Amino acid sequence: MECHLLRFLGRHRRLLDDRVCAAIGTERVVWLVQPFDAPRAWGDGEWQGRDFLPKDSTARTAWTGLWPPRGSQPTWDAIGHATHDGVEEWLLVEAKANLEDLRSSCRASPQGGRPMIERALDRVKRELGVPHDRDWLTGHYQLCNRVAVFHALMEHGVAARLLFIHFVSDRGGPGRTCPGSAAEWAEALAAQDAHVGLPAGHPLDDRIHRLFLEVAPR
């Protein structure tokens, strides 16, 4: 997945921009440069939590009271500025290329940051009208914590949009189920949505988007 998004950002940016703008209903998008991370295989890192915001941003400083400062932070595959009706908004991107990547669970320790994470997610569930019994810690935790970050941004007056890019026709292999069409993504995404329980018309509904993008568009 990561290589596909980096390839589009580096070699097919005009096509990517056109598809993204059509999916989210904006006029243009300008991408932030990804941070470096020397220990990683390619030396490229990802934006974490709300580190992309100015250091004096209220939304950034408030995050320290909502999420454990240690351990893994929610990360973004890409961050951009999207212009909508002349107004600039943040664009947060999470990308997937196979069905297995949809599933994840919280690995924080009950003696560590897990209780704080659970409180943060429960609060977002209440705000968005999600039934209390929906488990946001197991099954689709990655999606849920991205929604939590997004919700916190909007709560502090930071205009943003959240885009999930689902790549189509990636190469499959052992342990990788790669849909060849948007329709082949549908069943797994429907199961994910049912598990998470975001109701239609929730307060962030019109700012969360999906884009199905061919690995090699014809």
pLDDT tens over the chain, length 218 residues: 568 998 999 999 999 999 999 999 999 999 999 888 777 776 678 898 889 999 889 998 888 888 998 878 899 999 999 999 999 999 999 999 999 999 999 999 999 999 999 999 999 999 999 999 999 999 999 999 999 999 999 999 999 999 999 999 998 778 899 999 999 999 999 999 999 999 999 999 999 999 999 998 87
Closest C-alpha to 207, from 163, 142, 166, 155: 163
Q: How many whole angstroms separate alpha carbon 61 and alpha carbon 55?
A: 8
**What pLDDT sits at residue 44?**
76
Q: Concatenated DSSP letters for 81-148?
A: EEEETTEEEEEEEEEESSGGGG-B-----TTTTHHHHHHHHHHHHHHHT--TT--SSSSBHHHHHHHH
**What pLDDT sits at residue 2?**
67
> Coil, strand, or helix at residue 181?
coil
Q: How many whole angstroms separate alpha carbon 23 and alpha carbon 117?
A: 31
Q: How many whole angstroms separate alpha carbon 74 and alpha carbon 31?
A: 19
